[in-house]
């Protein structure tokens, strides 16, 4: 890994081996107060006052308190990924995405939530589930944690059991795209949805080892908001 010199020191970055474990870790600070600034229909804005170190001047930060979400990269036997085009009003664009949704059902297992979203948005079920990656969507302004799954061994939900999509979801269009072609679209700046960007690139990387390094679908997820209540 790279050893980088301190900013402004003129020290040249050195590339070499290191025993440093590159892994994000929990860092709980002293929380003095927590309040809800705005209560929304889907998520709230909260305000925390905390200290970085004992005795330091307290800081206040407002952020979106989010229940977390899941996304699904679906691959068929031809190594094609399923993409959904959906209108997103805040950016006023039709975006190519992967099936995804909120974990807003109390007590629902994460992979069960992913399977629910896959059925609702794409009329599909999957026999094989693995974890591709986990990430925070916007950690400077939201507590949202997203887990992206790889789903394979797919089949259709029977027509009489399919979810009726309404509002923006009623406009969803589908496309099966070669995984490498989808990754090239991401790197070319043509795909902007964060779950699609992260999921497609993660799947393209994992495919190089035939997905052998992936975690099982039921792998622990300690970073999910329900596991981080203070």
- Residues labelled catalytic: 169
d(CA 117, CA 212): 25
Lookup result for tokens 């992913």: 114
Q: ∠ at Cα 155 (153, 161), nearest 5°?
A: 140
Q: 72: Cβ–Cβ under 8 A, 6 or more apart, which residues?
A: 98, 99, 100, 114, 117, 118, 126, 148, 149, 150, 151, 199
SS3 label, residue 227: helix
Angle between helices 179-187 and 194-207 (to 10 degrees): 130
| H helices present in the chain, as ranges | 110-122, 179-187, 194-207
d(CA 157, CA 165): 14
């Amino acid at each position: 890994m790279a050893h980088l010199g301190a900013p402004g020191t003129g020290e040249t970055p050195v590339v070499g081996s290191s025993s440093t474990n590159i892994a994000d870790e929990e860092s709980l600070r002293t929380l003095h107060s927590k309040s809800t600034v705005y209560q929304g229909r889907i998520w709230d804005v909260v305000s925390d006052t905390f200290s970085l170190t004992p005795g330091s001047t307290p800081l206040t930060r407002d952020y979106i308190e989010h229940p977390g979400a899941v996304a699904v990269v679906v691959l068929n036997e031809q190594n094609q990924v399923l993409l959904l085009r959906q209108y997103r009003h805040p950016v006023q664009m039709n975006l190519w995405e992967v099936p995804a949704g909120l974990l807003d059902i109390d007590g629902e297992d994460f992979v069960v939530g992913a399977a629910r979203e896959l059925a609702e948005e794409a009329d599909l079920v999957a026999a094989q589930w693995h974890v591709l990656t986990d990430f925070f969507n916007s950690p400077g302004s939201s507590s949202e944690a997203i887990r992206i799954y790889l789903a394979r061994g797919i089949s259709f939900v029977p027509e009489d059991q399919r979810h009726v999509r309404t509002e923006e979801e009623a406009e969803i269009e589908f496309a099966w795209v070669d995984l490498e072609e989808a990754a090239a679209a991401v790197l070319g700046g043509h795909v902007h949805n964060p779950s699609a960007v992260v999921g497609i690139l993660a799947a393209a990387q994992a495919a190089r080892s035939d997905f052998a390094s992936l975690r099982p679908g039921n792998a622990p997820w300690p970073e999910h908001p329900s596991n981080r209540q203070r």
